[in-house]
Every structure is written in structure tokens, then in C-alpha cells.
Structure 1
Amino acid sequence: MKASNNVYLVPFILVTSLFFLWGMVHNLDGILIPHLKKACQLNNRQSTLVDTAIFLAYFIMAIPAGLLLKKWGYKISIVTGLVIAAAGAALFVPAANQRAYEMFLGALFIIGCGIAILETAANPYTEALGAPETATIRMNLAASFNGLAAAVAPIVGSIFIFSGKNYTTERLQAMSDATRNDYLFTEAASVKLPYLVLSGALLLVALLFYLTRIPEIKPAEDLAVPKGNLFSVLRNKHVSWAVVAQFFYVGAQVCVTSFFIRMAEQGAGMDEKTAAWYLSVYGTLFMTGRFAGTFLLRFTTPQRLLFIYALASIVLCAIAILGDGAYVIYALGGLGFFMSIMFPTIFSLGIKGLNEDAKPASSWLIMAIVGGAVLPYLMGTMIDLNHDLIQPGYTIPLICYAVILFFAWRGYKVKTV
């Protein structure tokens, strides 16, 4: 930030806090899925509906969020998104009191709608808060707080959500009804404090945004309705392949984190609290990989680096499937590092060589995050079909990495219409 741009400093700090907050929301899901599976007595397929609720909200809100931003501007859009997400987080209290999984899913869907509005507004606003030539620096700095949340959220989950008590089905059935219900309601209640704090933090930031005089930079005219034809752009082969690759990338990332805890328990013999700390290491490696990838792009092309990272991910995923003991958890941690550059790299390759069609292509690439709603459900189904064995389920992200590998090998090549 230049001295002449000090007027942007406070707004930039506030916007950066949004990256951390929605990072906390997403990275608590890796804790929430195994915890609600236990507290609500779910199978694996049912537990992945946590992901479905969040990412389906993103998919549904993609266009409405852009329309809202165009009509109301950055400040009101951000405050609205924060209040909606805070309301969803607060609903965790009645959901936990009733141990009602459907209420948890409804709360998560509301949170997802709020976060979708936040991301739609915060990303372009961050770029607009200062000189265009320093926009990339601002985005990287803000995104680093998203990476920080990936390291912090599992620690919060380990301390405040996980009890460390895991009983087998046989042990639960042997308990009296009163003892079993007391245990399950106690497990469900542990999510109330973290999500109440999250709700309070979201409301506090909303209040700060509302009270602070921030520059109201006019959003671009094409934020909600992109120029170019939304469907004809897919005739460009590299765009359609990028959308496919992005769908599988988001699905792979969510699959890995959703079953990380249970994979560490089964494959590496860890308890849930220890596994949560390793999930924090995974988040740290993800952030490290992003910075390392940015540095390496000075010496190679994006498609070549993506190919190398995808190949490494295939190898590590195979180790996680076939290995046992510490090798499993090391492989999962390595996946965090090598997945780090995939989303932005696929995105940039997907819009390469386009002019007005870049906007509709971007819309497709954003909507491709619906992969995070679909593929974890398939993975959970596969695990259930394999009698609750987690390792075979990691075949799903393995296939995803193979698709990304093909995109980095041939699918990225620009063949515009």
C-alpha cells in the first residue's frame, strides 16, 4: 500500500478478515463431517451432505450474488452476506439441542449462501482497493489469511468439538437408552460454542463494515450478466476441459479433507484429536504449496507445473490407498501441498486467449465448484459399499487427479472458435 492509498488501508484490513472467516467455515467442515457422523449416527454417504449443503448453496447463489452486488454495491452486499452467514451459524444451537441432522444441513446451506455473497463481493473489491499494478499482491496477501484459517480451524475443532470418545456400534448398543442418548446429545452440543463464536465474529465484522466509511467503488457492469454467450463459449475446447478439470479438482479437494480424520484413524491408527492436528498440518502445507507454486511459475509454464503437481497427487493418493501406518498420513499431507495451485492455474488456463468470452468462461469455472457437492457423496457411497473402509474411497480423488493430469497434458491447449 502506498502512502497516498492510506484511505484504503482500513477497508483492506476488513476485507482481509473476510478471507479468514470464510476459510474457517470451509475448513471446519473436515471436523464437522466425522463429528456429526458420530453424533447423529450417520453412514458415510449421509455425512457428506455437509459438503453438498455448502457447495450447492454456492452453485445456486452464483448468479444472484452477482446481481445483488451490481444493484447494491460492495458495502451492502458484504454486510448482507455476513448477516446471512451469521444467522446460519447461530442455527447450530437449536440443531444441536434437537440433534437434528436436517437442521444442521439447513444451517450449513444458509451459511453457504452468505459466504457465496461474500466471496462474490470481496474478491473484486480487494483488487479495486488500490493501484491496478499491485492488485495481485493484495489478492495474495488476503488469500494467505484463507490459508491461515486452514491451519487454525482443525485445531479449534480438536480442542472444542472433538471429545476423543469413539464407541463402536456394539458398545453403543450395549448401553442403556439414557446413557446412549446422553452421550450422543453431549457430542452434538460440542458444536454450539464454536459456531456461536463464529456467528458473533461474523456479526461483529458486519457491524464494523456498516459503521466504517469505505470507498464505494462501482462494480463492473458485467459482474452479474457476463458479456459473450454463456453456452457458445464451451465450444472452445480448452474452456470446456477447464470446466471439467475444475469440477474434479474441487471435488478432489473436498473429498480429501472430508475423510481426512477418518482416514487417519483407520489407515494410520490415530485418535480423532491427533488426526485433527495433522489436518492442521495439511492446511499449512496447502498454504506453503501455494507460495511455492507462485515462486516456481517464474521458471516454468503453468501447464507444466500443473502436470507435475497432478502426477505427484496421483502417486500420493495411491500411497494413501495402498499404504498403512504413518505413510498414509504423510501422503495425505503431501496432497495438501500439491493441490494448492490447481484451482487458480486451471482457472487462468481456462480463460486464456478469450476476449469478451472470458466473463462467461469465468462463470462456468466458478459454477464448477459444484463438484464439491457431488463427488464427496459418491466417495461416501463407495466407502459404505466397502463396509466402512475409508481407503478404497480415495479412488475417487485419484480419478479426479487423472482428469486434471489430462487437462495439463492436452486439454489446456487453446482451440478458440
Structure 2
Amino acid sequence: MAGPVGSSHVAAMHPGGRPSYGPALALLASLFFMWGFITVINNTLLPHLRSVFDLNYTQTTLIESTWFVGYLVASIPAAKLIERIGYQKALVIGLVIMTIGSAAMILAASLPSYGVTLAALFTVSCGIALLQVAANPYVAVIGPPETAESRLTLVQAFNTTGDVLAIVFGRYLILGRTTAGTSAEGTQLTYAQRMADAQATELPYLIVAIVLAILAVVIARAHLPALGASTQRANAEERRGLSLWKHRNLVLGCFGIFLYVLAEIGVGNLFINFASQPNIANITHEQAAYYLTFVWGGMMVGRFAGAYIMKYIAPEKVLAVFALGALVSALAATFLQGPGAMYALIAVGLFHSIMFPTIFALAIRGLGPLTEEGSGLLIMSIAGGALVFIQGNIADRYGIQWGFIVTALCELYVLFYAVWGCKPTNALPPVEPRPVD
């Protein structure tokens, strides 16, 4: 984080008089970290809830579908809220909503209640959607346009750092403290054991709620630089004659985000159950969570590396190479047996690393005054994760490995987007951002 943020501006100045956005980016990186952390807790939460409520794969993945419906519901209202109250207040409100949802998870664990769990997770996801609509375009346009992809990939690396720590957090505070988490796959639990396991999520979500509340206060007191005219919603006169649908890179980018998120969520949510299968690695859920840290660790390393690589190589070329690697790895996870299949799925995490930030930055390239609206559509496209129940249904019907055919098809589309779909049409000129007075 960037140090004290009370009365001093976060947008400092270089000696030459140019604004320095480094401190602001450092503060925003804490938001990326936190929503990555709270999202990926779900990877350890879902196998836990599957045991507590005795769910099949379809029912388990429907929990995650509810989470991503929050993005679908909240994204457009979030864009309108940002238009009315500004980016900074919207970030604070998003954090407050996430805090409320995390507190509700404590209630859900104490009851325990499947319905309250769904409502609480939906609330948290709505708060994250608001943060995403505000923070992603903010980071993309706060500095020079030519480094937007690299800059967004860099802060997304902190998002993935949160992902990695969330797995460690969930492994020890959720799976490691439950009977189901420390037993072999398929172990039948008594009702008393399942109810005792349910209480394991109270402490983790209490910690999360406290951290979110503190972060809301910090962001509320910070002085963040304002966005320039090119990134503000066009007024009625400026908007006339401009259409989001004329920008091919945006329209196809929305499908890219939709399918990429479906692929990422499917890997993360099913990994623990996948690795625990007797024909794969034959390990406990807690042990599988250890290997899951390498999925998100690969994403973290890949994003830091990708931010550097894209300073020298066109981002669309880097995206194409990573999409091809993800496609091959997903097919290997589908058709191999033994630990090799697990390692192939771990490799998918590395290749996924740059996809979201790169697709996002390529999709808003050339939108000018439509950037905010376009960003709202892209964040709404994160709702693609809601279709993960399809992968769960395939796992129930044909076996968990066959579910990763869905992942492979998603990677194939991202490859298409990198090669052709990301090329801008009807690009509008950018305008330099300005600091606050």
C-alpha cells in the first residue's frame, strides 16, 4: 500500500511536472488483491459446502453460478452509480457491500443455511462487480495508452497474489479444520460431523469482513486522480452517433471475457475434487488445496512476467501464445491419467495468467468517451462464470475429467480473439488523464 493517505494527494508529480500515478496504482492494487482473495476463497469453500450440504457436482457449481449472477445483475447499475457519484465513492460503496456479505457468511455458518450462504455470496459478488467496473478502466487509462495492457496486467498480478494467499488461508482455516477436508474423497460423514464442519467458515469470514471495513475507510480518505474527458461517459450530445457495437474489439472481447472466466472458474472450482480422484492423484482435499496454490501461483508469476514481456512484444501476440498453451494443457488434463493430468491442469493456471487483463485492455482500446460504458459490458461478461454448472453437470454424467473439454473450447475462442478479433474498428482518439486540483 502507498503509505499515509489522509490529506496528501495520491497523485504525486514527477520533477518534470508530469503527474506520477504510481502511489495511486499502489493503493488500487490493494483492491485488486482483496477481491482476488475473497473470490478464490470459493475454491476451498465449494468442496467444503459440498460435504456440509451433501451436494453433487451440479449443485456445488450452482453455488458459483449464483456468485457470477451478481456480476450480471450489478454491472450496469454500477456504471450508472459511478456516473452519478464518481469512481472513489463507488469503490467505497463496493467495499461496504462486500463487508456486509462477508458478515452474512458468518451467520450462514452459524445456522447453518444453504439459502443464507447463497444470499451472502451473491451480496459479496455484487460489491466486487462495482469495484471491477470502477477499478479496471481506471487503471487502464490512468497512464499512457501505449502501456495500458502492461499496467493492467501488473495490478492484476496483485489480484492473483490475493488468489494464492486465499488458497493457503482456506486450506488451513477451512479444509484443515474439518473432518471432510482431512478425509479421503468419498468418505461418508455423519450429520453431526457435517454440522460441526459448517462452523469452520465463521473465523475466516470474520477476518475478511474486518479487513474490508478497514480498506473502505482507507479508500474513503484517499485523494485519487480524476480521469480525463476521454474516459468519462459522453453526454447526450457527444454520445450521438457513437455506438459501442461498431467496435469489434469490444464486442468480441465481451465474449472473450465471458468464456475466459468460465474456463478459469471451472479449473479453480473443480481442481480439489479432480486431484482427489483415485485415478488422478488420490489425495485428500487438504492436500489437493496445496497443489491448487500452484495453479494460482502460476497465474501470479505469469502476470508479473507478462507485464514485463508486453513492454517489448505486442500484447495480442503474447495472448495468442498463452491461449495455445492453455488449450494444449486443458486437453492433456482431459485425456491423461495419474498425476500428469493434475500437473497439466496446474499449467493451465500459468497460461491463464495474462488473459483477463489483456483481453480487457485490448477490448477498450479506441473507445474514447465510451470507455466507461464498454467497461461495464466487459465486467458484466464476467457472468460467464455462472455457466460453470454446465461443467458440473458433465462431471456428474460422464466423469469429472470430461468437464475440462469446456475449458479447452474456451481457450480456443481466446486464441481466435488474439489472432483476429482484438483488432480495433472505428477507434476514437484518447485524451490524457488529468489529476485532481
Q: Considering the TM-score relative to the shorter chain, is it more than 0.5?
A: yes
**Aligned residue number for residue 276 of structure 2:** 265
Letter aligned with residue 251 of structure 2? S
For residues 269-348 of structure 1, the aligned pairs below 5 Å read: 269-348=282-361
Matched to 1:277, the amino acid is Y
Corresponding residue for 2:129? 116
CA contact (8 A) 1:229 1:360 kept: no
CA contact (8 A) 2:138 2:227 kept: no
1:93-242 matches, cutoff 5 A? 93-123=106-136, 139=152, 142-162=155-175, 163=178, 164-166=181-183, 171-172=188-189, 180-210=190-220, 212=221, 214-215=223-224, 217=226, 223=232, 233-242=244-253
Q: 1:177 matched to which residue of 2?
A: none
C-alpha distance in 1, partners of 2:371/2:227? 20
Q: Indicate if the aligned counterparts of 2:56 and 2:396 stay in contact, CA closer than 8 A.
A: yes
Please tell me the residue identity of whatever aligns with 2:394. M
Deviations 1:208-235 (A, max 9, x none): 344x353573786865678758995435
Contact 1:73 1:216 in 2 (8 A): no
Q: How far apart are the structure 2 equivalents of 1:400 and 1:361? A: 22
Residue in 2 that maps onto 1:410? 420
Distance 1:122 1:48, change over 3 A: same
Equivalent in 263, 266, 287 of residue 252 of structure 1: 263
- Distance in 1 separating the partners of 2:424 and 2:148: 26
Q: Is 1:78 equivalent to 2:61 in the alignment?
A: no
Following TM superposition, by how much is the alpha carbon of 1:347 offset from its aligned partner in structure 2, in angstroms? 2.8
> 1:368-417 CA deviation, whole Å, 9 max, x = no partner?
2111112x11101111112xx21111111111112222223333345559
- Aligned CA-pair RMSD: 3.3
Which residues of structure 2 form unaligned runs of 5+?
A: 1-11, 428-437
Gap runs ≥5 in structure 1: 173-179
Aligned pair partner of 1:382 in 385, 391, 394: 394
- Aligned twin of 1:394: 404
Identical positions, percent = 33
Please say if residues 268 and 326 of structure 1, whose CA atoms lie closer than 8 Å, have aligned partners that are also in contact.
yes
TM-score scaled to structure 1, two decimals? Answer: 0.85
Contact 2:271/2:292, CA 8 A, preserved across alignment: yes
CA gap 1:80/1:371 in 2 versus in 1, 3 angstroms: same
Question: How far, CA to CA, are the matches of 1:247 and 1:209 in structure 2?
Answer: 29
Give the distance between the partners of 2:78 and 2:171, measured in 1 at CA: 33
Q: Distance in 1 between matches of 2:418 and 2:364?
A: 14
Matched position secondary structure for 1:273? helix
Give me the whole-angstrom Cα distance separating, in 1, the residues matched to 2:324 and 2:65. Answer: 27
Whichever structure has more helix as a proportion of its residues is 1
Q: Deviations over 1:357-376 (max 9, x none)?
A: 555544433322111112x1
Does structure 1 retain, via aligned residues, the 8 Å contact 2:253–2:360?
A: yes
Change (3 A) 1:295 1:169: closer
Give the partner amino acid of 2:266.
Answer: C
Post-superposition shift, 1:77? 2.1
Q: Pick closer, same or farther for the CA change 1:246–1:230 going to 2, 3 Å.
A: farther
Structure 1 residue identity aligned to 2:215: V
TM score, norm. by length of structure 2: 0.82
- Supply the AA of the counterpart residue of 1:381: N
Residues 121/147 of structure 1: CA separation in 2 closer, same or farther (3 Å cut): same
> Secondary structure of 2:395's partner?
helix
> Could you tell me whether the CA contact under 8 Å between 1:40 and 1:99 is conserved in 2?
no
CA 1:221–1:281: 2 relative to 1, 3 Å: same
Q: State how many pairs are aligned.
A: 406
